[in-house]
Amino acid sequence: MPRTVLALTAMFVLGSTAAAQALPTADGTSSKAASATEQRASAGLLAAMERDLGLTPAQAEARLDAEEKATALEPKARRTAGAAYGGSWFDAATGRLTVAVTDDASPTAVRELRAAGVTVRTAEHTAEELDATKARIDKLSAPAGVSSWHVDPKAGTVVVGVVRGEREDADVRRFLERAREAGPVTVKETAATPRTFAAGTVGGDPYYTGNVRCSIGFSVHGGFVTAGHCGGVGQSVSGWDRTYIGNFQGSSFPDNDYAWVNVGSGWWTVPVVLGWGTVPDQLVRGSAEAPIGASICRSGSTTHWHCGRVLAKNETVNYSQGAVHQMTKTSVCAEPGDSGGSFISGDQAQGVTSGGWGNCSGGGETWFQPVNEILNRYGLRLHTA
């Protein structure tokens, strides 16, 4: 049984599971929304955001509130924009969701977006066009000097990352030529080649597969989700205390980086992500997807609790073992052993740690596999408070 779970068991029946029904607008905050902000804005969480994002506690509280509104607005904004939708992101400077639309967007749609508190920008390409460009690039074989590629709605292009010093490599140049033939592309230099964070059921807690240590992502009914590179189907899993938990029931890597493990033998699942003493252990209340630009935090068994921002979505990451698709990139650091661990925004599950570059001393970037994709793939149900 993980160390912190017993003390938290009573909290689950006491915590409110109600959520505000109305979509947020530009003015006012409901009492339910204010209550939700108070629940997640603990002193420890605010301190972590101050450390990793350079925010004061008051700025962090305001940021969390604005991001909650933006997260609720994003799916409605996408539907309102319709075929003219060019992508969206959270603008930390204004505290508002920005939505890009092509110039053929209907005046009615633009008025509705602005009335809901959205900042509207003009886009040259639709999100559908950019996604199609990325899908064509996904079919190419990438050399080691190409680190990743993703749709950037702010730039209106697919951004291809090339490892510093590798741009003149003949294979990289050929890849970029073919990528540009696929559609609008921008090339960006990256610091290093990404790697996975595996080393030799509560989110962030360690588990072991043989000599490999990884981290639990999120509890689901019947088990937990984690990274696929941590183990293959049928492999045995033991917990932080080295007692048997269960086995990998599904696993995919590369192409994807997700897996799920069944839980039994005296273990059970709880909707909690470990705060490791930096913040209180966090209850998980859902899996609403945070927008690009939103703050996000990660829990893992090596570096524990760190925060940053969502940098990109639907990025293809070119690991040495092969490309992994539909990843989300963040500015959060991670290190070996953090693989599989929890990415969470407020009280909403976001995904499981895959890999990245750098470390938590000098900084870096980390990717995660979105949790909703994992739940849909295996027909799982997230365990929520």
Which residues are known catalytic residues?
A: 229, 257, 339
3-state helix, strand, coil in the chain (%, to 5): 25, 35, 35
CB atoms under 10 Å from CB of 135, counted, come to 15
Measure the N-to-C terminal CA separation of the chain; round to a whole number of Å: 19
Main-chain dihedrals φ then ψ at residue 355, nearest 5 degrees:
-170, -170
Compute the distance between CA of residue 334 and CA of residue 303 in angstroms, rounded to an integer: 7
88: left (phi over 0), alpha (psi -120 to 50) or beta: beta
- Tell me, rounded to whole angstroms, the distance of Cα 99 from its chain centroid: 20
Main-chain dihedrals φ then ψ at residue 71, nearest 5 degrees:
-60, -40
CB atoms under 10 Å from CB of 51, counted, come to 13
> Strand pairing partners for 305?
299
DSSP secondary structure letter of residue 22: S
Tell me the DSSP string of 219-270: EETTEEEE-GGG--TT-EEE-TTS-EEEEEEEEE-SBS-EEEEE--TT----
